[in-house]
Chain A
Amino acid sequence: MKKTIIILSAVLLTGVILHAQGDTQKLQQDVAKLDNATSVNDYQQLAAGFARIAESEKTQWLPYYYAAFCNAKTGWLNEDDPDNIEGYANKAEEQIKKALSLLDTATQKKELSEVYCVVSMVNRARVFMNPATYGRQYGPPASMYIQLAKKANANNPRALYLDGWEKFSTPKMWGGDKNKAKELLLAAQQTLAGNISAGIEPHWGKKEVDDLLKQLK
């Protein structure tokens, strides 16, 4: 009997390791796909995939983070179809809250910074539903979370990108500044170029930053 238990324990352990590897692999695959995602369809497919991984890895913040990011990004991509944002924003909010609850906010500053970026994006997506009215309600938290993300990790290129995006998109009257935007985006570009490690850690942003810089020329 004892033997059986030992064998079983060993088996169990192997199973866990194997499985962890399986999920990591899946996550890795999807994160790699994310690098080439462009359309709502791409992001939605990935959002479903990440949600699926999150379902089995309920203690990992990354799958939730990526699922939330894909849904928030869908909200951004639907900027011209404002009736079709709220559902994605709701879903993203639910997922990013889960990701946040899995972090130790005292020590995991880098991770926290990434999560705050997505929280900001969710709020910004809500602004897109109707900037004239939702702007007043969701615009301030959208900016606030960028600042919190920068506070948690001053070198997070995604926080720099979002900050730059905001400076770029806001009319001058309300604090927009194209020069400052360029500065932030260039800094983001530089940081992004500095760490090309394409693992499962959040590393999106190059495409977004490059696109925006093109518009700034």
Chain B
Amino acid sequence: MSVEAGSGVPAERPDSYVSAALRSPNFMIGATITTLVLLLALVSFVWTPYSYAAQDIPNKLKGLSAAHWFGTDHFGRDILSMIMVGARTSIAVALVAVGVGVVVGVPLGLWAAARRGSLLDEVIMRANDLVFAFPALLIAVLITSVFGPGAVNAIIAIGIFNVPVFARLSRGAALSLWTREFVLAARVAGKGAVRISVEHILPNITNTLVVQVTIQFALGILADAGLAYVGLGAQPPIPSWGKMLADAQTLIGLAPHVAIIPGLAIVLTVLGLNLMGDGLRDIFDPRLRRSRR
């Protein structure tokens, strides 16, 4: 006799993620924009309309035309080429910075969660609070004043800022998992904290981390543009979106497109990443997924 209902938690299968992704407008729009920006950056390695550094003073501050799709700047450089190469810089800086945050922050958070309530937990988390208390820009100014400006130092500054974000997030998510019965079962099976963290905790917080990565990535792009704007990011002649904005600032009345185009590039990229993060969160959250059915 079977009088049991098979009701339970919704299935967590990859195929259900895919179909949920296809039904999420946020994710689809965000992913499309992000993919386009990534393609732009990748193409710039093999082809740009002009060299990003090639100056053509007679043709400076030209508007949008067939020869220069996005016009030229005050040195007559092709803006499209600069945007493409700038995308490369921005993405590289943001990606490595987020990578630093994940690689350092997640293990710290997992370690703190595994030793929750101990002195070690306190030390790790209070140190994180300390770092978190300083804005990324301040850390960047600090680092550049010691080591000089440049893309690498921007990466380090934004990366340090990302560490506490991921440490806190993974600690919080891990804490609730540590009380779950399947983790207790693993402890009864004699598994140590490191093993449980890798085998059971980390795979179960990946969803949360992936969502945060997209959001931090967007923040990274913004932070990179901000640093470049104040001259602490990638140095000329390497173009960067923030530096382009800063250069165009005084010319905004004369040739607005020189400022608008890098501005739009930043806005669209950040928007795309944020939409993608929102979409991913909806897709991974079983409650939201169920209510949409």
B is a partner of A: no
Partner-B contacts on A (CB < 8 A): none
Partner-A contacts on B (CB < 8 A): none
